[in-house]
Structure 1
Amino acid sequence: MKASIAAKHWSVPLRPSGGSRVVTESFPTVMSERGSGGYEKGSTMPKYLIQSTYTADGAKGVLREGGTGRRQAVERLTASVGGRVEQMYFAFGENDVYLIVDLPDNVTSAAVALNVAASGGVRMKTVVLMTPEEIDEAARKEVEYQSPGA
């Protein structure tokens, strides 16, 4: 699956710190044209936290390609659907990789997840991230709700 979305890419100022890259300032990715997700010029692209765990075959691939090889593959994947990788970290523990990515919309995020899952090399969980301003907007929305048992 391939989406044709034009996005204005931006670079984050990075500072080397003991061999790792640290984000010193962050700005949202802005759509440069109307994309399939309905984003107009000047609106921000949704951010997602992707938590990934390699299968045995996936881990063998990391041993062959290295971490930078996997980062390049992830960057190509996100660019192919009109998105970008903000950060990628390898980790110890339950998950092997944590990604923060900008993708045009939830449909595109689902397309990425389906294609990655179909590869068999990675299991992943995607979390939609929201800005404080989006939470402010949600808090202002009026909803009608009845609590269970009320």
Structure 2
Amino acid sequence: MPNFLIQATYTSEGTKGLLKEGASGRRAAIDQVVTALGGTVESVYFAFGEHDVVLIIDLPDPVSMAAISLTVKASGALHTRATPLLTVEEIDEATRRQVPFRAPSA
């Protein structure tokens, strides 16, 4: 199952919701969204700085990630960035694949 790193920043409206519900309420909402699409939540961390919350989630496919991303962004409560995460084994497999590439200057 593909893994994703999610970095999110609350808008002012999203922050008001966090203050009202608390972190455990938002964690429950995250779990509900991810499990509804057949995924699992590996970890959730709240932070301060550029990002307010950082997640690692597993989903059945990239389309599920796109569906979550579109829905969450449409709410206007969060700005998010999803980064696909690859295992060591997946990178090893990638290094064995032949790619017919020629550099522009070659």
Q: TM-score, normalization: structure 1?
A: 0.70
Corresponding pairs, count: 106
Give the helix-richer structure, 1 or 2. 2
SS at match of 1:93: coil
Q: Which amino acid aligns with 1:97?
A: V
Residue 47 (str. 1) matches residue 3 (str. 2): yes
Residue 139 (str. 1) matches residue 77 (str. 2): no
SS at match of 2:49: coil
**Distance in 1 between the 2:57 and 2:104 partners?**
37
Moved beyond 3 Å, runs of 4+? none
Q: TM-score, normalization: structure 2?
A: 0.98
Aligned to 1:92: 48
Pairing of 1:72-111 with structure 2 (within 5 A)? 72-111=28-67
Q: Which runs of 5+ in 2 are unaligned?
A: none
Larger RCO (CA within 8 A; separation ≥ 6): 2
RMSD (Å), alpha carbons: 0.6
Q: Which runs of 5+ in 1 are unaligned?
A: 1-44
Residue 129 (str. 1) matches residue 70 (str. 2): no
SS at match of 1:143: coil
Pairing of 1:46-65 with structure 2 (within 5 A)? 46-65=2-21
